Amino acid sequence: GMYLSIGATTEIRISENYENQAQAVLAARAGLNHARELMRGLEHNDLLRGADGVATSIYPPSTDISGQYAFRNWVSWSTARSLNILAPASAVSGLPDDGLFNTGKVGATPGTILIPAVGIALTAPNPYGAGTIITARYFVKVTDNDDGDGDPFTDSDGIVIVRSTGVAQTVRETSGGTVRANSVVVYEARFREGKTFDLDAPVILQGDTVAPAKPNMFNGNSFTIDGGANAYGIGTIDTAAGNTNDPTAQVVGALDTNQYNNVVGSGATVPAVGDVTPTSGDALHLLDPTYLWNFAYSVMPTSSDAVYQGNRTWAGGNAPYLGTYPPTDASHRPRVTYVNGDLNLSGNISGAGVLFVTGELKGNGNLDWVGLILVVGKGYANLAGMKVGITGGLYVVNLQAGNPPTFGTAQFTIGGRSTITTTDAALHIGMGNLPAVQISWRQVTRVSDP
């Protein structure tokens, strides 16, 4: 009888441990997926320094563990094994908020914490009555990689490390004074800010050929396209460099001589129009029509703040909220707006972040934008009837449906008193709101994490 009892108890423990290990795995993965979604639009340094904006390397009990592997975990391995997943507040009490996902400190106002110190609880229907029960919990922390600057609270290379610790309660055991009440699983991923749309000019026209969206590509001589620190105001990307078509020559040919000084850059080229076809890095994705097609029709609809299917007409005060970037206020709220169709604008419209249009972009009135405007699909941007003020970048490329997709002719027209220029900060507003690139992933064990 005793042996049967011991055997039954052992089998219960085995099955219980297996089930809760699986729950811990799912919790850790859920935490990493949650982090992946939150990365978009958040500043890495805000994450590293926490909601209070103050870097704290001293952890209880008065130990500096910054730069060590242990610093990557929100809770230590021993704490994770013994904490109460129903009420973990006491286990995380006193920990600085460095590494918690947050919106960033604005002035004297701390950021809003998005994944709290007590983690996120996963629940299931209560099999014994009404309501739900907590089955597992995940904790997430962001730390800096070794980017060579010696500062664990400043990101110097656009790469951060995210660890997610999944904890699920199991049969409680005490051995040698050590309490083991939970199954623990840790996953780690590295994320990098994508540089695909780190544009080398404020206007990028891509294709084997480029053409006007109206009879003329450039109307009048009151417009300004200023490359700032970039060599060119208008850059072209040649998608078929081996043939005789030259998109740069096509753009220059569309300019009258009295319009040459309306397109300027830091170089000596007049007008400041030149080839910026990428040769390395993330920007090489721009030469892959399949990548761009997938990005336009699969990635963007699932990673935008607002998605509009079909043609849209927005007039002044009737336009949706498109984000803000007040130049004299740190409370920036950029967002990503996706329109799968034509977009016709009128009246006074402003926004910040990313405006992604798969159809035609056209209209009249005023458009002020900080960040990126990506016209990917029809590749048609007719700004002739508008007074446009863009700080950041405008990218236009035509994609032809097929298996695989191919490049077509990008169409662009500008006129009036429009101004398009660029700054690093404005480009970052755009790129930082696009999905982060996950460059590695691994499961971490206590043995592999010294």
> What's the pLDDT tens digit per position in 26-44?
999 999 999 999 998 899 9
Q: What angle (nearest 5°) sits at the alpha carbon of residue 426, between those of residues 420 and 431?
A: 115
The answer for residues whose C-beta is within 8 angstroms of residue 50's C-beta and 6 or more apart is 56, 96, 97, 98, 99, 100, 102, 111
190: CB partners within 8 A, 6+ apart: 145, 159, 160, 161, 162, 438, 439, 440, 441
What is the percent of the chain with per-residue pLDDT over 70, rounded to a whole number? 90
User: Percentage helix, strand, coil, to 5, in the chain?
Assistant: 25, 35, 40
Distance, in Å, from the CA atom of 336 to the CA atom of 324, rounded to the nearest integer, reads: 11
- Domain ranges (residues) in the chain: 8-193+436-444, 203-433
Q: Are 199 and 427 in contact (CB under 8 A)?
A: yes
User: C-alpha angle 344/348/353, rounded to 5°?
Assistant: 75
- Which of the residue ranges 2-6, 63-67, 385-389 has the most confident prediction, judged by mean pLDDT? 385-389
How far are the Cα atoms of 306, 339, 402 from residue 309, in angstroms, in the given order? 10, 6, 21
Coil vs helix vs strand at 29? helix
pLDDT, residue 36, reads 92
Asked whether the predicted pLDDT for residue 177 surpasses 60, the reply is no
Helices (H), 40-102: 44-49, 77-82, 89-92
Alpha helices in 84-142 (DSSP H): 89-92
199-211: b (≥16 Cβ within 10 Å) or e:
bbbbbbbbbbbbb
Token pair of 186, please? 């840790």
Give the whole-angstrom CA distance, residue 395 versus residue 372. 8
pLDDT score at 64 = 58
In this predicted model, what pLDDT tens digit does every residue of 272-285 receive, in sequence order?
999 999 999 999 99
pLDDT grade, residue 59 (50/70/90)? Answer: low
| 251-270 average pLDDT score | 97
**In one letter, which amino acid is 342?**
D
pLDDT in tens, 180-221: 689 999 999 999 988 999 999 999 999 999 999 999 999 999
pTM, to two decimals: 0.85
CA angle (385, 219, 383) in 5-degree steps = 35
- Rounded to an integer, the average pLDDT of 70-99 is 92
Question: Cβ of 76: how many Cβ atoms within 10 Å?
Answer: 15
Residue 174 pLDDT: 53
Return left, alpha or beta for 59; rule: phi > 0 is left, psi -120 to 50 is alpha, else beta. beta
What is the widest separation between alpha-carbon atoms in the chain? 102
pLDDT at position 107, please?
84
d(CA 317, CA 337): 17
CA angle 362, 429, 407 (to 5 degrees): 50
* Residue 420: predicted pLDDT: 98
Q: List, in sequence order, the alpha helices (H) in 217-288.
A: 247-254
Beta-bridge partners for 163: 141, 188
**Residue closest to 51 by CA, chosen among 106, 113, 140:** 113
**What pLDDT score does 449 carry?**
72
Alpha-carbon gap, residue 275 to 241, rounded angstroms:
10
Contacts of 198 by beta carbon, 8 Å cutoff, 6+ apart: 282, 283, 427, 431
- One DSSP character per residue, 160-176 reads EEEEEEEEEEEEEEEET
pLDDT tens figures, 318-366 = 899 999 987 666 667 899 999 999 999 999 999 999 999 999 999 999 9
Q: How many CA atoms lie within 13 A of 58 on its CB side?
A: 2
pLDDT of residue 285: 97
Tokens of 345: 């604008």
Residue 47 structure tokens: 């994450």
Average pLDDT in the chain = 91
